[in-house]
Chain A
Amino acid sequence: MQINNYGSYSGMEYIIKIKKPRKTLFNDKWVWRMAWLDARHNLTRLFLFISSIIIGIGALVAIDSFNTNLQEDINTNAKALLGADLNVRSNKVFEEETLALFDSIEYEQAMDVRFASMVLFLTPQGGTRLVQVVASEGNYPFYGNIETLPDDAMESLTQGRFAIVDESLAMQFEVSYDDSIKLGNLSFIVKGIVSSMPGTNVVAATFAPSIYISLEYLEQTGLIQYGSRYSYRRYFKTGTTEQADLLEKRLLPVIKKYSYSHSTVEDEKENMGEAFENLYRFFNLLGFVALILGCIGVASSIHIYVQQKKSFIAVLRCIGASAWQSFNIFFIQSMVLGLLGSIAGVLLGIGIQHLVPVMFGKYIPVEISVGIAWGAVLKGLLLGIFISGIFSFLPLSDIRNIPPLSVLRSDLNNDNKFSRMKLLVILLAILFPWVFAVIQTQSIRNGTVFMGALLGSFIVLTLVAKLIIFLARKFFPTGWSFVWRQSLSNLFRPQNQTTVLVVVIGLGTFLVSTLLLIQHALLNQVEFMGSEERSNTVLFDIQPYQKQGVSDLVRTYQFPVQQLVPIVSTRLSKIRGKTISEIQKDTSDHIPNWSLTREYRITYRDSLIESEKIVKGKMISEVAQPNDTIWVSISENMAETLHVDIGDEVIFDVQGVPITTYIGSFREVDWQRIQTNFIFVFPKGVLEEAPQFYVLMTRTESKAKSAAFQQELVTKFPNVSVIDLRLILQTIDQFMDKVAYVIQFMALFSIVTGLIVLAGAVINNKYVRLKENVLLRTLGAVKKQIVQMTLLEYGYLGLFAGLTGIVLSLLGAWGLTRMFFEIKFVPDYIGLLAIWLSVTFLTIIIGWINTRDVINKSPLEVLRKEV
């Protein structure tokens, strides 16, 4: 050994540095050996640490893989969804100019006309049903697989008056090969059944099952004269996206000029993406929560682990291990276990991810692949290692502050040495979830808000813990019985874990109940038709003079008339004094064309219905005098689209008659309810005499009763159409159930992580109280008293921490629903109460389990073991 005297010799004091071999984590074999020797017998204590990692990373990988795969599937299948590279759609026959342009285009084309019609089955069973007729010409769809029976059914369409029907239709009406059906004046022979057609999914097919015929027979059916709504479509196959873009540019002038609609593969991708937007968001939130719970789990289990290892470390320091060496031993343990846990978590995640498509694959219009998303796997591994590194470093850095003197005095407090390294890690610990949140939400604002909310909760919980400690000490009830006093004083006596437990239990509760609330709000959104009284049958085209008769008929079947609404078809003619064509020419105002040229089906009534509320202005119920100003109500969204405000003049063209009105109010409309909702609502006293028809909504009961009713309706009122929503509702219900199931399943996963983290904190806490309880027993406390004391102590902690977490989650979920999901916030107080009670209960139960060790062994045995 060499000793260098570094110059400064001042009086008696030498500043001495000993030259000793430099040891780092990597060249110090001894720390690796110690890490292993010690870990062998600590695996149960580290189990909680590792399970936080496993479950956290597992959830993250599952969620990420699912997101990635769904996104990729949508991308790769978008072409098949559209069936073409580009389509152009019009609700009237294409103009000459357009047809000429189409003819000049070199790419392969196909066309069809789609419209709703009643079909008559000329089968033994018979029956009629509203269907979508697709009269086609050409090889559409160009992409995607058509599954028909027989395989070449589609080709047979051009060979005669043949039809192909959707599988659901074929099953419902027992239609089979060579049966006849009648569309308008013409009968067709069924030559095939379609089970899968690109661009349609189960939900769509149930809503409007399709019948495919050749375009050449359309005229002869006579259906074309009846003035119902048509969609004329032209499809183009360009092969590449670039060419589709070029073609789009060529077509845009006519598309604009004649107000056609059109879609490209890109549009389709976007639409699909939007449909899953909130699901993505929820999953991203879940991912974030899982990660944070993992971080908390790691930090809290390591924190308490270090507490237990204090004397171990002191002995090592005493024998001559340096501060960093002692640190490294445990750092190695957590890194190696973190790595193993991450690998296990990734495997778990891949496993779970395979379940998702099994659960609701059928309802997503693209086939979800279950391939391993390597990006997600890599991300999971890296995150796992990162989390173990950063979040174990923080509590582990305490090790360096354990004074070696504690071998002689175990009650010695740690030195509170500041180290730059620790500061750096604290910064990383804040930065890391922040960056993660930003990446996960793909928005700096949202990510920052997430992180801010989390930090805020952390601070609030710490303050609450300090407050509890302060209050318990300040207002200590000296008059209480021994058990009550002792359990209360446990909250503030030296070595108490109050702050850690309150923060961990509180944060866990906060995250879990936020998820619960969001899930609740999402499900509420999803179950828009959940109510028992929802309508399931819609009758439309009821003429004013039939109104009474039809309602009476409905009532004789003892069905309720839930809505009977007049509908008037109108178009806009002037807004704020400018004609529609003037507005169209002025491109500076960005009012979309469709909103100007479309047909508006409006109604009139004197009050609001359940699915709407006034957000601006006042609803005027009636126009009493013929010359009074007509104040109409407009939906909030459409007011935005049309750039109109309260008091603006809007002139409607009601089948040739101009009617001048003024915007009187904005309504917020819940469009997702199955109800007849309207963009414009007129007051009473204006449109009563205009050409109109009524829509009636009712709820039919049994299938048989409904069939009998429809039969009678068709004979008595042949012009009235019926849509039986029961089948559709059933399908949508099934779909929504699956969505709800997936949401719940994934949320459950994070909740379990939360519980494990919580359990971990409480179980580890046992080692802190163990010795003391044994001592109390030695001093003569009876078992019952110790149990009561423990239950009370954990009871306080669970109650307060849980309550704080829940209050925070109400704030958090409110913010999330407003800003992130843009859905209605519906607090689920019963759920919250359940969480509160379960958290408290769980805390108490684990606390109680903890006392088992003390109670079932002799004090001596425990003392010897733990000294």
Chain B
Amino acid sequence: MDQILEVNDLTKSFFSGENKLTVLDTISFSINQQDTISVVGPSGSGKTTLLGLCAGLDLPSSGSVSLAGIKLNALSEDDRAYIRNRYVGFIFQNFQLLPTITALENVMIPLELRGEKGLVPKAREILDRVGLGERMDHYPLQLSGGEQQRVAIARAFFSSPKIMFADEPTGNLDEETANKVTSLLFDINREEGTTLVLVTHNMELAAHTDRILQLKGGKLIADKQLRVV
């Protein structure tokens, strides 16, 4: 299957009382496997909303999202959770590590959830890869923001997802750390051959990807292919 993600006429509106706010307006695009694309646009343009829909965290008002050939609209929330666990990796602006378990345990969670065993050596390996070999038994609170995001990256790639969603992954980091985290993200992504969907308002970051989708006021206003794989 070539197309990992297919978005058709996706519309999302919110109602507050009488008022209808259309945040995403008939958006359509598709992404091939191993593509890296970024979704850019000013704050409030609907990037995060789009990401949530693509990852099956939310349901559209109309239109559809197919992930790995499976139509997400038709699934129950628990089934979508199951799909996320199998196919999707996440990286968030505010890291979203579980505060009560160690870095190592955080990394292992998605695969443990699948019921896999004997994960510790592999998890150590990937933490080594992100440069946190010494800090695996630390709790998130004991790590800096950059370090936390590395753990989050390790966790996201650990389950070998088919597609990776990242929402402003460097938004909470200072520039220097952001650069390091960015190169780490793209390096690993290349090694693993994962499809990457990156949401950002930062054009510099977006420039790292092969293709750029530009959102404005809930509409897709541009779709630029920077590189051909």
- Chain B 61-74, CB within 8 Å of chain A: the 1/0 string? 00010000011011
Contacts of B51 in A (CB 8 A): 408
* Selected contact of A30 from candidates B77, B78, B112, CB within 8 Å: B112
Contact A312:B100 (CB < 8 A) given known A322-B78, A404-B81: yes
Knowing A18-B83, A315-B96, A321-B113 are in contact, say whether A408-B78 is a contact too (CB < 8 A). Answer: no
Verify A14–B74 contact, CB threshold 8 A.
yes
In the assembled complex, A20 has its CB within 8 A of some CB on chain B: yes
With contacts A16-B79, A311-B96 known, is A408 near B167, CB below 8 A?
yes
Contacts of B82 in A (CB 8 A): 18, 20, 320, 322
Q: Quote the shortest CB–CB distance from A317 to chain B (angstroms).
A: 6
Asked if B218 is at the interface (CB within 8 A of a chain A CB), the reply is: no
Is A405 engaged at the interface, CB distance under 8 Å to the other chain?
yes
Cα separation A324 to B78 with both chains bound (whole Å): 9
Residues 41 to 100 of chain B near chain A (Cβ within 8 Å): 48, 51-52, 55, 57-58, 64, 70-71, 73-79, 81-86, 88, 90, 92, 94, 96-100
Collect the chain B residues with CB atoms within 8 Å of residue A404's CB: 57, 77, 81, 84
- Give the docked Cα–Cα distance between A863 and B82 (Å): 33
Chain A residues closer than 8 Å to B96, beta-carbon distance: 311, 314-315, 318, 407
B74 near A323 (CB under 8 angstroms)?
no
A405 and B141 contact, CB distance less than 8 A? no
The reply to whether the CB of A12 lies closer than 8 angstroms to some CB of chain B is yes
Q: Map CB proximity to B onto A294-315 as digits: 1 under 8 Å, 0 otherwise.
A: 0000000000000000011011
Q: Is the CB of B71 within 8 A of A41?
A: no
- Measured CB to CB, the closest approach of chain A to B103, in angstroms, equals 13
> Known contacts A16-B70, A864-B141, A865-B141: does B113 contact A30 (CB below 8 Å)?
yes
Q: Chain A residues with Cβ under 8 A from B109's Cβ?
A: 34, 316, 319
A319–B58 CB distance below 8 A: no
> Which A21-53 residues sit within 8 Å CB-CB of chain B?
21, 29-30, 33-34, 37-38, 40-42
List A contacts of B81 (CB < 8 A): 317, 320-323, 404
B16–chain A nearest beta-carbon distance, Å: 12
Contact partner, A37, options B70, B71, B101, Cβ 8 Å: B101
Whether A319 touches B90, Cβ cut-off 8 Å, given contacts A14-B74, A16-B70, is yes
**Interface contact A407-B84, CB-CB below 8 Å:** no
Chain A residues whose CB sits within 8 angstroms of the CB of B83 once the complex forms: 18, 320
Q: Does B169 contact A (CB under 8 A)?
A: no
Q: Which residues in A have their C-beta under 8 angstroms from that of B92?
A: 407-408
A95-131 CB mask vs B (1 if < 8 Å, else 0) is: 0000000000000000000000000000000000000
B105 near A: Cβ within 8 Å? yes
Cβ–Cβ < 8 Å partners of A319 in chain B: 84-85, 90, 109-110, 113
Residue in B closest to A13 when the chains form the complex, CB atoms: B74
Instruction: Determine the chain A residues whose CB is within 8 A of the CB of B75 once the complex forms.
Output: 16, 18
- In chain A between 239 and 261, which residues have their CB closer than 8 angstroms to a CB of chain B? none
B116 to chain A, nearest CB (A): 10
Interface size class of B (residues with CB under 8 A): 35 or more
B79 touches A18 (CB 8 A): yes
Residues of A within 8 A of B141 (CB): 864-865
Nearest-Cβ distance from residue B141 to partner chain A, whole angstroms: 6
User: What A residues does B101 contact at CB under 8 A?
Assistant: 37-38, 41
B118 proximal to A (CB < 8 A): no
Query: Would you give the shortest CB distance from B61 to chain A, in whole angstroms?
Result: 14
Chain B residues within 8 Å of A322, by CB = 78, 81-82
Q: How far is the CA of A319 from the CA of B97 in the complex (A)?
A: 11
Contact across chains for A1 and B86 when beta carbons are under 8 A apart: yes
A405's partner among B52, B79, B100 (CB-CB below 8 A) is B52
Residue-wise, chain B 139-157 has the 8 Å CB interface mask toward A (1 for contact) of 1010001000000000000
Interface band, chain A: 35 or more
Q: What is the bound-complex CA distance between A40 and B51, given in angstroms? A: 34
Q: Do A315 and B98 contact each other (CB < 8 Å), given the known contacts A16-B70, A405-B52, A408-B167?
A: yes
Chain B contacts of A324 at CB under 8 A? 78
In the complex, residue of chain B having the shortest beta-carbon distance to the beta carbon of A326: B81
Closest B residue to A314 by beta carbon equals B96
- Complex contact B57–A318 (CB within 8 A): yes
Asked if residues B113 and A320 are in contact (CB atoms below 8 Å), the reply is: yes
Confirm or deny: A15 has a beta carbon within 8 angstroms of a beta carbon on chain B. yes
| A312 to B109 Cα, complex, angstroms | 12
CA distance A17 to B83 in the complex (A): 11
**Contact in complex: A320, B70 (CB < 8 Å):** no
Residue interface mask A784-808, B partner, CB < 8 A = 1: 0000000000000000000000000
Give chain A residues whose Cβ lies under 8 Å from the Cβ of B55: 318
Interface flag for B121 (CB, 8 Å): no
Determine if B112 and A33 form an interchain contact, defined as CB atoms under 8 angstroms apart. Answer: yes
Most buried by B among A21, A320, A324: A320
B155-172 interface code vs A (CB 8 A; 1 in, 0 out): 000000000000100000
Distance from A15 Cβ to chain B, minimum over Cβ atoms (Å): 6
Let me know if A15 and B74 touch, CB within 8 A: yes
CB of B17 closer than 8 Å to a CB of A: no
- Does chain B have a CB within 8 A of A3? yes
Contact A40 B100 (CB under 8 A): yes
Q: Most B CB atoms within 10 A — which of A13, A40, A317, A405?
A: A405
A424 in the interface (beta carbon within 8 A)? no
Contact of A408 with B52 in the complex, beta carbons under 8 Å: yes
Instruction: Give min CB distance, B83 to chain A, whole Å.
Output: 7
Contact B113 A12 (CB under 8 A): no
**A867 interface hit (Cβ, 8 Å):** yes
Which residue, A42, A318, A403, has most C-beta atoms of chain B within 10 A?
A: A318
* B52 neighbours in A (Cβ, 8 Å): 405, 408
Give A867 Cβ to nearest chain B Cβ, in Å.
6
The distance in angstroms between the C-alpha atoms of A17 and B75, with both chains bound, is 7
A323 to B77 Cα, complex, angstroms: 8
B residues less than 8 Å from A409 (CB atoms): 48
Minimum distance in angstroms from B96 CB to a CB of chain A: 5
**Contacting residues, chain A, for B76 (C-beta < 8 A):** 17
Question: A865 to B145, alpha carbons, bound, how many Å?
Answer: 11
Complex Cα–Cα for A324 and B77 (A): 11
* Neighbouring B residues of A408 by C-beta, 8 Å: 48, 51-52, 57, 92, 167
B100→A41 contact, CB < 8 A = yes
Q: How far is the CA of A404 from the CA of B98 in the complex (A)?
A: 14
Alpha-carbon gap, A321 to B81, bound state (A): 6
Which residues does chain B contribute within 8 Å of A405, judged by CB atoms? Answer: 52, 57-58
How far is A865 from B58 in the complex, measured between Cα atoms in Å? 28
Chain B residues lying within 8 Å of A312, measured Cβ to Cβ, are: 98-100
Max chain A Cβ within 10 angstroms of own Cβ: one of B52, B73, B77, B81: B81
Which chain B residue shows the least CB distance to A41? B100
Contact of A38 among B70, B77, B98, B115 (CB under 8 A): B98
Task: From known contacts A33-B112, A320-B110, infer whether A38 and B64 are also in contact, taking CB-CB under 8 Å.
Answer: no
Given that A37-B100, A41-B100 are known contacts, is A16 also in contact with B71, CB under 8 Å in the complex?
yes
Q: How far is the CB of B144 from chain A (nearest CB, A)?
A: 9
The CA of A14 and the CA of B110, in the complex, are separated in Å by 28
Instruction: Give Cα A6–Cα B114 distance, bound, in whole angstroms.
Output: 25
Please tell me if the beta carbons of B115 and A30 are within 8 angstroms of each other in the complex. yes
Closest-by-CB residue of A relative to B167 is A408
- What residues of B have a CB within 8 angstroms of the CB of A1 in the complex? 86
User: How many angstroms from the CA of A204 to the CA of B188 in the assembled complex?
Assistant: 91
Contacts of A314 in B (CB 8 A): 96
The interface residues of chain B lying within 8 Å CB-to-CB of A865 are 141
- For A705-730 the 0/1 string (1 means CB < 8 A from B) is 00000000000000000000000000
In the A-B complex, the 10 residue pairs with the closest CB atoms: A320-B85, A41-B100, A322-B78, A405-B57, A16-B74, A18-B79, A38-B100, A320-B84, A405-B58, A37-B101
9 contacts between A and B (CB under 8 A): A13-B71, A13-B74, A14-B74, A16-B75, A319-B90, A320-B113, A321-B81, A323-B77, A407-B96
Question: Which A residues contact B (CB, under 8 angstroms)?
Answer: 1, 3, 12-18, 20-21, 29-30, 33-34, 37-38, 40-42, 311-312, 314-325, 403-405, 407-409, 864-865, 867
Apart from the given pairs A17-B76, A864-B141, 5 other A-B contacts in the complex at a CB distance below 8 Å: A15-B74, A18-B70, A315-B98, A319-B109, A404-B77
